[in-house]
């Protein structure tokens, strides 16, 4: 297969710079055939600038008026998309698609279609394709999606051909000098002492000497020594500032889940073995089943008592998510013939929002209410949203991200007045604040055991007796739980749930007061950091949750840097996502503040010492990230060439801009991204005699952005102008195990290097 057997087709590209970036990606990956369908601007100087060494690909690029013209002569077509499409053919991931394209190109020329940056390919354009490739996209950077997609596909095509992807750097660095090795050994000894490292068979002195001999035999080069010293510095920083707490990592994520109370664990253990009450509660014909049933009914009464309900009003489920689904789907579908409207809010948990979205696909109408800036839903807004065909209002009691409490009592009263069913997700309220279902006028309440020191995998749904006829099950297969929730009851989990509720009820008042004091202590400390914004300020909040946004830092990087604290950014069920919190966006927070939020949640085992440690750790890490940001002034030593050491009189042979010592030194800086964007990177280079002498960086962005920028600065010393960019974003991502969905951000890093390249005078 030749590279000319695979054609890259860009359909209506709107950014000329992206065309240049695509050409550069193709050149790096040995692809030559580029076709542009009705480009908005081409040729264009920005395309040429971004191509950076791939001008021949741009020169040969053909411009046509339609997709059929672009793919003429190609017997196999692949199309790309960044979103789900209803197509009859199979959607492949990038690697699988690349293997298929390479295989097909051995018998017929192949083409890969890429749509416009913001809109992608139209359905009629997809009809020409044999396969569809799903490409992850960065919503915050639509203009980068095209370049990222081509880079990713081109990289995988090269891999599929069996080629080895390598950077374009010079040979290995020279071996480290004895002085550099001595500094490394001293640094290592210092770190070993600080972390109190001991080996069972070696004294500290003998161990250090042994490691010294090992490093000497390894014949490390200069770059390897720099990398090792960087690792040691990171270990020191983490140990001193955000490492292990007084007795290990400090858990401040009680809103995500709680540890099982020892009394709960003991009660559960008594229901697991032959000697205990392990039986199936449905087996009423023998003592084992009857004993298990009795334990379950005791637990049912304990759970009901926590919320002021009667035992027969409790339905056991697998958790609050199932309880929410059972209420929303079960009630809506049971009444679909006469009522098809639901009212909820934009800040509900996904376990409420996603069932509502499912019902929208089934033809239901859903009204999503927007909170005020403090996170509260106005009961009058609920009243105004009600319609004659409204079947359900679902408003949570306590928000899982910001801890704000809604006026559930007022909302429940107006729903009761209008004859509309009212459901409240109380997963973050049960056991934290007093609950009385009668006073709140609720018809359905969801809550779960693992938020109140019980086991995971069990929850409950309160169903008001008068509301039961209006709901149908969403699963079938048994008559358990009065026909609403089939399946064998998990005796040990339910028993643990009951004991957890009993303990929570007993400790509720005291814990409320204690946690309120700790929360205020925490906020006082964090507010002193500066640039801290309390999310939910001015609204009543549950005692144990504090959500704070920090100016000038990115939340994922902040959490990653706080290795000694177990905390969340965004909601617990969705903290793996790098997207800004939809809850904070609904409150009116801008993208930067929504992206920089921390949720610290306190619980039964949190102490004042834990809070004080957390304040100091956050203070240090926020300061570190702000200092690293391009928004901060770069140290003067980064922005100007260093003065010559004891320089003699000026040397007439020194090139313009030299320092009078016979050497030509230039300080360069290049950046990409910018304030208010997801990624902002700036590189500072010191060039001496046409070679990079030193490199530094400043960056704002996710941990992978910082990781790659730091890694690149270690690769740059010793490189000439033609070697400055070592490889491609795809190769960097592979080398550092960066998730593919983060690849778009690495293009900003690459652009910052190319900005340096444009400022580097050509010889």
Neighbours of 89 (CB within 10 A): 12
Tokens matching residue 600 = 């610290």
DSSP string, 511-526: HHHHHHHHHHHHHHHH
Q: Report the alpha-carbon distance of residue 155 to residue 177 in Å, rounded.
A: 37
Of 426, 573, 702, 756, which one is the catalytic site residue? 573
| Distance of alpha carbon 77 from alpha carbon 132, whole angstroms | 9
Q: Which two tokens stand for residue 389?
A: 């065909």
| 573 in active site | yes
Instruction: Count CA atoms closer than 13 A to 450's CA, side-chain side.
Output: 14
DSSP H/E element including 669:
strand 665-673
Question: Pairing between strand 110-114 and 6-11?
Answer: parallel
Q: What is the DSSP letter of 563?
A: T
Q: 473-477 long-range contacts, Cβ below 8 Å, gap at least 24?
A: 473/326, 473/330, 474/325, 474/326, 474/329, 474/330, 474/333
Burial class (CB in 10 A: 0-12, 13-18, 19+), 570: buried
Residue located via tokens 């996603």? 354
Q: Rounded to an integer, what distance in angstroms lies between the CA atom of residue 3 and that of residue 1?
A: 7
One-letter-per-residue 3-state SS of 621-651: HHHHHHHHCCCCCCCHHHHCCCCCCCCCCCC
Distance of CA 178 to the CA centre of its chain: 44
Distance in angstroms (rounded) separating the CA atoms of residues 759 and 521: 50
Task: Give yes or no for a contact between 729 and 749, defined as CB atoms under 8 angstroms apart.
Answer: yes
The Cα 496–Cα 477 span in angstroms is 25
What are the backbone angles phi and psi of residue 688, rounded to the nearest 5°?
Answer: -130, 120
For residue 312, how far is the Cα from the chain centroid?
41
What is the CB neighbour count within 10 angstroms for residue 265?
16
Cβ contacts of 363 within 8 Å, gap of 6 or more: 340
Give the ranges where 370-490 is alpha helix by DSSP (H).
379-385, 408-418, 437-440
> CB–CB of 110/78 below 8 Å?
yes
Query: Strands, DSSP E only, in 209-331?
Result: 250-251, 314-317
Q: For the packed helices 222-237 and 703-715, what is the interaxial angle rounded to 10 degrees?
A: 150
Strand order from edge to edge, sheet including 665-673: 665-673, 680-688, 691-700
| Torsional sign, CA 608, 609, 611, 616 | positive
Q: Is 292 exposed, middle or buried (0-12, 13-18, 19+ CB in 10 A)?
A: buried
- Cβ burial, residue 759 (10 Å; 0-12/13-18/19+): middle
Helices (H), 424-467: 437-440
CA dist list (Å): 480 to 141, 220, 286, 471, 477: 50, 68, 18, 15, 9
Catalytic machinery residues:
573
């Amino acid at each position: 297969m030749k590279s000319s057997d695979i054609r890259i087709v860009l359909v209506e590209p709107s950014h000329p710079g992206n065309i240049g970036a695509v050409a550069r990606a193709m050149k790096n990956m040995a692809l030559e055939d580029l076709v542009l369908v009705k480009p908005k601007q081409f040729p264009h100087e920005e395309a040429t600038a971004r191509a950076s060494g791939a001008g021949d690909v741009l020169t040969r690029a053909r411009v046509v008026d339609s997709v059929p013209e672009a793919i003429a002569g190609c017997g196999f077509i692949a199309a790309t998309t960044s979103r789900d499409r209803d197509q009859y053919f199979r959607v492949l991931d990038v690697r699988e698609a690349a293997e298929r394209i390479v295989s097909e190109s051995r018998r017929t020329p192949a083409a890969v279609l890429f749509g416009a940056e913001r809109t992608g390919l139209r359905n009629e354009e997809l009809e020409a394709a044999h396969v569809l490739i799903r490409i992850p996209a960065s919503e915050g950077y639509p203009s980068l999606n095209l370049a990222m997609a081509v880079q990713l596909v081109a990289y995988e095509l090269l891999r599929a051909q069996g080629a080895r992807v390598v950077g374009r750097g010079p040979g290995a660095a020279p071996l480290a000098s004895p002085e550099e090795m001595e500094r490394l050994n001293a640094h290592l000894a210092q770190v070993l002492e600080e972390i109190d490292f001991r080996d069972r068979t070696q004294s500290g002195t003998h161990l250090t000497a042994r490691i010294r001999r090992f490093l000497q035999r390894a014949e490390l080069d200069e770059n390897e020594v720099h990398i090792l010293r960087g690792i040691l510095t990171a270990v020191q920083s983490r140990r001193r500032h955000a490492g292990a707490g007084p007795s290990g990592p400090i858990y401040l994520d009680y809103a995500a889940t709680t540890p099982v109370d020892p009394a709960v664990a003991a009660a559960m253990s008594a229901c697991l073995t032959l000697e205990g009450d392990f039986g199936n509660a449905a087996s009423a014909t023998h003592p084992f089943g009857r004993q298990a049933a009795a334990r379950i009914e005791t637990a049912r009464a304990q759970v009901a008592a926590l919320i002021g309900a009667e035992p027969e009003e409790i339905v056991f489920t697998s958790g609050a998510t199932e309880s929410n689904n059972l209420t929303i789907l079960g009630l809506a579908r049971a009444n679909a013939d006469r009522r098809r409207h639901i009212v909820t809010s934009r800040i509900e948990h996904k376990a409420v929002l996603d069932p509502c979205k499912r019902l929208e696909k089934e033809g239901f109408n859903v009204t999503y209410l927007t909170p005020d800036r403090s996170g509260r839903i106005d009961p009058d807004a609920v009243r105004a949203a009600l319609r004659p065909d409204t079947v359900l209002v679902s408003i949570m009691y306590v928000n899982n991200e910001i801890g704000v409490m809604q006026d559930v009592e007022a909302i429940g009263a107006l729903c009761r007045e209008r004859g509309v069913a009212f459901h409240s997700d109380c997963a973050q309220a049960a056991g934290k604040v007093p609950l009385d279902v009668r006073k709140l006028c609720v018809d359905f309440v969801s809550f779960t055991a693992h938020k109140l020191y019980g086991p995971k995998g069990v929850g409950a749904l309160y169903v008001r007796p008068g509301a039961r006829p209006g709901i149908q099950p969403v699963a079938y297969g048994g008559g358990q739980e009065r026909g609403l929730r089939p399946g064998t009851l998990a005796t040990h989990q339910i028993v643990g749930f009951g004991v957890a509720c009993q303990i929570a009820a007993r400790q509720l008042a005291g814990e409320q007061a204690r946690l309120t004091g700790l929360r205020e202590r925490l906020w006082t400390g964090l507010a002193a950091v500066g640039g801290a914004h309390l999310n939910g300020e001015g609204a009543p909040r549950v005692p144990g949750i504090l959500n704070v946004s920090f100016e000038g830092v990115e939340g994922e990087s902040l959490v990653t840097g706080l290795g000694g604290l177990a905390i969340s950014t965004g909601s617990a069920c969705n903290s793996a996502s790098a997207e800004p919190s939809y809850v904070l966006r609904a409150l009116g927070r801008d993208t930067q503040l929504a992206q920089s939020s921390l949720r610290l949640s306190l619980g039964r085992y949190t102490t004042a010492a834990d809070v004080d440690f957390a304040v100091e750790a956050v203070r240090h890490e926020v300061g570190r990230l702000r200092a690293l940001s391009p928004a901060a002034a770069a140290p003067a030593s980064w922005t100007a060439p260093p003065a010559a050491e004891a320089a003699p009189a000026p040397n007439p042979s020194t090139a313009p801009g030299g320092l009078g010592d016979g050497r030509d030194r230039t300080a360069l800086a290049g950046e990409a991204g910018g304030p208010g964007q997801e990624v902002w990177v700036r590189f500072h280079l010191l060039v001496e005699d046409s070679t990079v002498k030193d490199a530094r960086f400043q960056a704002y962005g996710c941990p992978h952005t910082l990781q790659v920028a730091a890694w690149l600065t270690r690769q740059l010393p010793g490189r000439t102008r033609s070697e400055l960019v070592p490889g491609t974003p795809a190769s960097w991502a592979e080398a550092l195990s960066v998730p593919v969905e983060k690849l778009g951000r690495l293009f900003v890093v690459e652009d910052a290097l190319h900005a340096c390249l444009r400022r580097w005078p050509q010889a």
